[in-house]
Amino acid sequence: MITLYTASPLWGLPSFSPACMKLETWLRMAKLTYKTDTSLNLAIAPKGKIPFIDYQGKLIGDSTIIIEMFKSEAGIDLDAGLTTVERAISLAFRRMIKENIYWGEVYIRYQIPENWQVYREVLLNTLSAAAPAEECEPIVEEVYKIACNQLFNHGIGRHNDQEIYQITTADFQALSDFIADKPFFMGDQPTTLDATAYAYIGNLIKPPLGHPIVDYVLQLENLCQHYERMNNQFFSDLGK
Ligand SMILES: N[C@@H](CCC(=O)N[C@@H](CS)C(=O)NCC(=O)O)C(=O)O
């Protein structure tokens, strides 16, 4: 049995961490059985981040590395039906989502003061399930400092709000233009790109965190419909 170390379901999402939600979706798409651990114990995380898994007694970190591991060790490849060119397109979009859109989402959570007040409470509530309340405040302050440093070091944190809007909405617009009227990004069947897009679209449009980027994506109907389609297909049991 696989143990998936993840952030808990919240706001109607399987996880309030987009990377965790991507991996959990992929596990379901691959019909792999797993249980979850939502204690957020980063001390044992191989890469110091979630998600990670316990698989056959070994801890493995990073959603992409884990998916590649299942491909090479268990022959599970959700992208097997794609041509070489389609695989290249899928990889480019997945990298765009994980290495660029993700930071726009971190910016919205941490650097918009009213959003940070909401998200801070989420982190405090989550941590207080496993640690005494007085220990949680300093941990959350540390998480905040780390996130702000990451934003600056990635580069997006050096831009102003208008520039981050321009960068992030252009990425979502590209996703919208590419999926067009297809049910899934690469055609009729869901692939790894759908797991990735579902997680990062959901973690933008579902949390009660406001920003013009969220408003922009909410009016991209095909992306919102894709979110609902994936939700219905893979997480219809959520909240039941
Ligand atoms: N490339 C990693 C990214 C994971 C990631 O960014 N995880 C975030 C939560 S969504 C995290 O653990 N952040 C804590 C930190 O950076 O210290 C993956 O896909 O697994």
Per the model's pLDDT, the better-predicted residue between 128 and 112 turns out to be 112
Nearest to 101 by CA among 176, 187, 23, 42: 176
pLDDT at 239 > cutoff 80: no
How far, in Å, CA of 15 to CA of 72, rounded?
26
Cα of 50 from ligand 1 centre, angstroms? 5
214-238 pLDDT per residue, tens: 999 999 999 999 999 999 999 999 9
- Does the domain spanning 2-74 belong to CATH 3.40.30.10? yes
| Strand extents, DSSP E, 57-177 | 58-61
Cα of 79 from ligand 1 centre, angstroms? 23
80-127 pLDDT per residue, tens: 999 999 999 999 999 999 999 999 999 999 999 999 999 999 999 999
HSE toward the beta carbon, residue 206, CA cutoff 13 A: 22
Q: Which of 6, 25, 40, 50 to mutate to test the pocket of ligand 1 (most atoms within 8 A of CB)?
A: 50
137-153 pLDDT per residue, tens: 999 999 999 999 999 99
pLDDT at 212 > cutoff 80: yes
Confidence of residue 41 (pLDDT cuts 50, 70, 90): confident
Q: What are phi and psi of 59, to 5 degrees?
A: -85, 130
Question: What residues does each domain of the chain span?
Answer: 2-74, 84-234
Same fold yes or no, 2-74 and 84-234: no
Q: What is the mean pLDDT of residues 71-78?
A: 97
Most confident of 34-43, 132-141, 191-200: 191-200
Cα of 132 from ligand 1 centre, angstroms? 24
- Cis peptide leading into residue 207 (ω within 30°): no
Looking at residue 240, what is its pLDDT? 61
Looking at residue 133, what is its pLDDT? 84
Q: Which atom of ligand 1 is nearest to the CA of 42?
A: 12
Nearest to 202 by CA among 187, 216, 217: 217
Ligand 1 pocket, residue 101 CB under 6 Å: no
Ligand 1 pocket, residue 17 CB under 6 Å: yes
Looking at residue 154, what is its pLDDT? 97
Looking at residue 129, what is its pLDDT? 85
Topology adopted by domain 84-234: Glutathione S-transferase Yfyf (Class Pi); Chain A, domain 2 (1.20.1050)
Cα of 44 from ligand 1 centre, angstroms? 14
Helix (H, G, I), strand (E, B) or coil at 60: strand
Cα of 45 from ligand 1 centre, angstroms? 10
Cβ neighbour number for residue 34 with a 10 Å cutoff: 16
Give me the chain's average pLDDT, please: 97
